[in-house]
Amino acid sequence: MRIATWNVNSITARLPRLTQWLETAQPDVLCLQELKVSDDAFPQQELRALGYESVVSAQGRWNGVAVLSRVGIEDPALGLPGAPEWEGTVEARAAAATCGGVRVWSLYVPNGREIGHPHYEYKLQWLAALRDTAEKFASASTPFAVLGDFNIAPTDADVHDITQFEASTHVTLREREALAALEAAGVSDVYPRPLKYDVPFTYWDYRQLCFPKNRGMRIDLVYGNEAFVTGVSDAFVDREARKGKGASDHAPVVVDLDL
């Protein structure tokens, strides 16, 4: 089974690339983030034509997540249990389904904006709710994974130059402690094998030629329980999907399972 995660940064803008990638990469399950569409505008018909069912949580201009599957969808769920509100709204940042016997959650963790901003505390509260959810599923014999844009680089090595991130979010101790708490709940980081470069970055800013210069970050992550991790036969970042005009600023992370 092939499972992937991809922050597409607007599914409307990226639809031609997405459909092409689905046809070539052939994932059985794909978790999407940052859809930037309403539920009604999600391209269900185009994806169904390629054989994919969808579970979608979208709210218009911002956020939005989905799970696409061509191996069936069971027990769909929208929203992270216990997730905090932001400005009176529970944002569309989590969607789950059991696909081909694997329970997956597509996640778009809040950005945090800047240290000291209320959005930073919101991010930490959201991650605490994620830890509680993972704890409920991690010990099960069913393969289980949380995948998506975590907006956190787990270590200093996961950014191109840590000195450029002093006093910035994504690399702070409290954010990394939240990832450590997630792992303590029973899931492990599925680290992609390096291909062209030593560190498999997943995100590169559009500005200042960051992608050609490989000034990136590894913030799109896959955490799986023991039943999931022991089945991993390969994991990699598809850098080709980040190339060219009209690309998302993130690349897909692909995990192959032998279950």
Q: Which CATH number belongs to the domain containing residue 232 in this structure? A: 3.60.10.10
Q: Cite the active site residues.
A: 108, 149, 250
Model pTM score: 0.97
Q: Tell whether the model's pLDDT for residue 33 goes beyond 90.
A: yes
Helix (H) or strand (E) holding 147: strand 144-149
Which residues are known binding-site members?
7, 34, 149, 151, 249-250
Contacts of 71 by beta carbon, 8 Å cutoff, 6+ apart: 1, 28, 29, 99, 100
User: Tens digit of pLDDT for each residue in 201-213?
Assistant: 999 999 999 999 9
pLDDT tens digit string along 145-170?
999 999 999 999 999 999 998 889 99
Residue 81 belongs to what domain range? 2-257
Output the known binding site for Mg(2+): 7, 34, 149, 151, 249-250
Which two three-digit tokens encode residue 212?
Answer: 């050609």
Nearest alpha carbon to residue 78 among 100, 55, 44: 55
| Closest C-alpha to 181, from 107, 119, 127 | 127
Percent of the chain with pLDDT over 70: 100
| pLDDT score of 60 | 83
Reduced to 3 DSSP states, what percent helix, strand and coil does the chain have, rounded to the nearest 5? 30, 25, 45
Residues 178-190 have pLDDT tens digits of 999 999 999 999 9
The count of structural domains within the chain is 1
Mean pLDDT (the chain) is 97
